Amino acid sequence: MTDTMIAIIGGSGIYEIDGLEDAKWQSVDSPFGTPSDQILTGTLDGVKMAFLPRHGRGHVHSPTSVPYRANIDALKRLGVTDIVSVSAVGSFREEMAPGDFVIVDQFIDRTFAREKSFFGPGLVAHVSVAHPTCPRLSDACETAARDQGINVHRDGTYLAMEGPQFSTLAESKMYRESWGADVIGMTNMPEAKLAREAEICYASVAMVTDYDSWHPDHGEVDVTQIIATLMGNADKARGMVARLPALLGADRAPCSYGCDRALEHAILTAPEKRDPAMVEKLSAVAGRVLG
Digit-coded pLDDT (tens) for 104-119: 999 999 999 999 999 9
Answer yes or no: 210 catalytic. Answer: yes
Does the structure show a pLDDT above 90 at 185? yes
Q: Tell me if 230 sits within 8 A of 209, measured CB to CB.
A: yes
- Tell me what the mean pLDDT of segment 2-6 comes to: 96
* Second CATH level (architecture) for the domain 2-290: 3-Layer(aba) Sandwich (3.40)
The tens digit of pLDDT for each residue in 202-241 reads 999 999 999 987 777 665 656 677 777 777 788 889 999 9
C-alpha gyration radius of the chain: 18
**Catalytic (active site) residue 18:** no
Give 48-80 pLDDT, tens digit per residue. Answer: 999 999 999 999 999 999 999 999 999 999 999
What pLDDT shows up at residue 187? 97
Which of these is catalytic: 100, 109, 210, 260? 210
Q: Quote the pLDDT of residue 16.
A: 75
> At 101, is the pLDDT very low, low, confident or very high (cuts 50, 70, 90)?
very high
Looking at 73, 109, 212, 260, which residue is catalytic?
Answer: 212
Percent of all residues in the chain with a pLDDT value above 70, rounded to a whole number: 96
* β-strand pairing of 2-3 with 5-10: unpaired
Q: What is the per-residue pLDDT across 131-155, written as a single tens digit (0 to 9) for each? A: 999 999 999 999 999 999 999 999 9
Domain boundaries, the chain: 2-290
Q: List CB contacts of 214: < 8 A, sequence separation 6 or more.
A: 92, 169, 172, 173, 176
